[in-house]
Chains A and B, each alone.
Chain A
Amino acid sequence: MTATAESPAADAVATMRVEIQILRMNPEGTHEREPGEEYWESFVVEALPTDRVLDALHKIKWDQDGSLAFRRSCAHGVCGSDAMRINARNRLACKTLLKDLNPARPIKIEPIKGLPVEKDLIVDMEPFFASYREIMPFLMTTGNAPERERLQSPEERHRFDDTTKCIMCAACTTSCPVFWTDGQYFGPQAIVGAHRFIFDSRDEGQWDRLEILNDKAGVWKCRTAFNCTEACPRGIEVTKAISEVKRALTTGEI
């Protein structure tokens, strides 16, 4: 079978053939496609069950079709570059194993929804980052800076621990049905980003941020669909964080 067949290792794992279907789009067009036309293309790769979807994409790009475009940087679930819609769910390609996806059937990969597609699996993240900037994701304090660290207790740190895990991959925001229909909505990620500062005891800009999120395009657009919580590759309880922001707004207490 393989080149090393004459001395098979005892722990050799059988490879398998997996069909990958990718929703592609080339803004410049190809000789057979109009510019901007979306179409499905199938690739068959030889892969291990423990390979990740990202490995399969690499095999396609490196060995079969170099024109395939997708983002990835660290390839280990930290940088948040390779969020894509895999079998109709938003996931990180580098954290999804082929064996967890029923490789007997074709695996469908699309760009994340709700953001303009630039090419193949690459989307324009600017609207997403613009929402994040709008909630002012930086420490806001008054008075002179202390000479040493700004201290807080483990309990105070724990209050916003969950939302510090965000890697800004946009899997939550682009899984949100309200975000799909209404480009005005901040989206779950911006609210998670605001939550991380609103509930930080060292920060003093809570009410500025809450006032921004109290806007028409803010937290009140959330319909608690829980898509974001399901999509988050870091396991952040996104809907819970949004509800905590709503509670802070309705009760006036943080």
Chain B
Amino acid sequence: MTASSEFVPGPKIKEPRVRSGRLRPGAEQWSWRFMRISGPILVILILTHLFINLVTGDGVSQIDFAFVAGKLAKPLWQWWDFAMLTLALLHGGNGMRLLINDYARRPWLKKLLHGALGVAVIGIIVLGSLVIWTFDPCPTGADPSLIPSFCEAVS
């Protein structure tokens, strides 16, 4: 047996490096977790949403301004729709982000697409939240036959 000498790496074995030069450790892991958690929640939220809107009551023919306004006047459905809006956009937006990472090879294109995606996601969340939280179910001067029945008590 020869005495063990100091380990000399072969010509092709080099020190391991962090391949992407990432700045946020664990970010991809949290993105993955978020997708796994938000997915099942979205399935429940959306299927219940569709069931309440399309199956219960008069079915699809019940959907008019009064129906939507009546729903958006209740805190439960406000929160329900808000959760659906944000989770769907973040889940879908994150999926799009991964697609951009896969397919956009040129750095400037990647940045541009990521930027456009971020603007779209945040813009839609802000606009949707505005509708959900500032919606007036009883606009003044509207035809009483078109607005929810509880509006008479308010006016």
Partners in one complex: yes
- The chain A residues found within 8 Å of chain B, CB to CB, are 133-136, 178, 181-182, 184, 186, 208, 212, 214-218, 220-221, 246, 249-250
Which residues does chain A contribute within 8 Å of B6, judged by CB atoms?
none
Is A216 a contact of B28 with CB atoms below 8 Å? Answer: yes
B106 within 8 A of A: no
Complex Cα gap A246–B103 (Å): 23
Question: Which listed residue (B22, B26, B32) contacts A246, Cβ 8 A?
Answer: B32
Is A134 a contact of B16 with CB atoms below 8 Å? Answer: yes
Which residues does chain B contribute within 8 Å of A182, judged by CB atoms?
101-103
B62 within 8 A of A: no
Question: Which listed residue (A181, A216, A250) contacts B20, Cβ 8 A?
Answer: A216
A-B CB contact pairs (8 Å), 8 listed? A133-B14, A182-B102, A182-B103, A215-B28, A216-B28, A218-B28, A220-B28, A249-B29
Question: Which listed residue (B14, B16, B17, B19) contacts A216, Cβ 8 A?
Answer: B19
Known: A133-B12, A134-B16, A217-B20. A181 touches B28 (CB 8 A): no
Which residues does chain A contribute within 8 Å of B40, judged by CB atoms?
none
Q: Which residue of A lies closest to B22 (CB)?
A: A216
B33 within 8 A of A: yes
Is A220 a contact of B102 with CB atoms below 8 Å? Answer: no
Is B33 a contact of A250 with CB atoms below 8 Å? Answer: yes
User: Please, what's the 1-or-0 string for B3-40, where 1 marks a CB less than 8 Å from any CB in chain A?
Assistant: 00000000011101111101001111101110000000
Which residues does chain B contribute within 8 Å of A217, judged by CB atoms?
19-20
Complex Cα gap A20–B110 (Å): 41
Is B20 a contact of A215 with CB atoms below 8 Å? Answer: yes
Main secondary structure of the interface of B (DSSP, over half): loop
Is A134 a contact of B103 with CB atoms below 8 Å? Answer: no
Complex Cα gap A214–B19 (Å): 11
Q: Which residue of B lies closest to A138 (CB)?
A: B13
Which residues does chain A contribute within 8 Å of B29, judged by CB atoms?
214, 220, 249-250
Complex Cα gap A216–B26 (Å): 8
> Which of B16, B27, B103 has its CB near the most chain A CB atoms (within 10 A)?
B16
Which residues does chain A contribute within 8 Å of B102, judged by CB atoms?
178, 181-182, 221
Which residues does chain B contribute within 8 Å of A214, judged by CB atoms?
25-26, 28-29
Complex Cα gap A134–B25 (Å): 18
Known: A133-B13, A220-B31, A250-B33. A184 touches B25 (CB 8 A): no
Which residues does chain A contribute within 8 Å of B19, judged by CB atoms?
134, 184, 186, 212, 215-218
Is A208 a contact of B16 with CB atoms below 8 Å? Answer: yes
Which residues does chain B contribute within 8 Å of A178, judged by CB atoms?
102
Q: How far is the CB of A166 from chain B (nearest CB, A)?
A: 19
Q: Which residue of B lies closest to A216 (CB)?
A: B20
Is B33 a contact of A184 with CB atoms below 8 Å? Answer: no
Complex Cα gap A203–B127 (Å): 54
Q: How far is the CB of B89 from chain A (nearest CB, A)?
A: 21
Q: How far is the CB of A156 from chain B (nearest CB, A)?
A: 25
- Counting from the closest, the 4 A-B pairs by CB-CB distance are A216-B20, A220-B28, A181-B102, A217-B19
Which residues does chain A contribute within 8 Å of B33, judged by CB atoms?
250
Complex Cα gap A47–B15 (Å): 49
Complex Cα gap A186–B12 (Å): 17
Q: A184-B19, A216-B20 are in contact. List 12 more A-B contacts (CB 8 A).
A: A134-B16, A181-B102, A182-B101, A182-B102, A184-B20, A186-B19, A214-B26, A220-B29, A220-B32, A221-B28, A246-B32, A250-B29
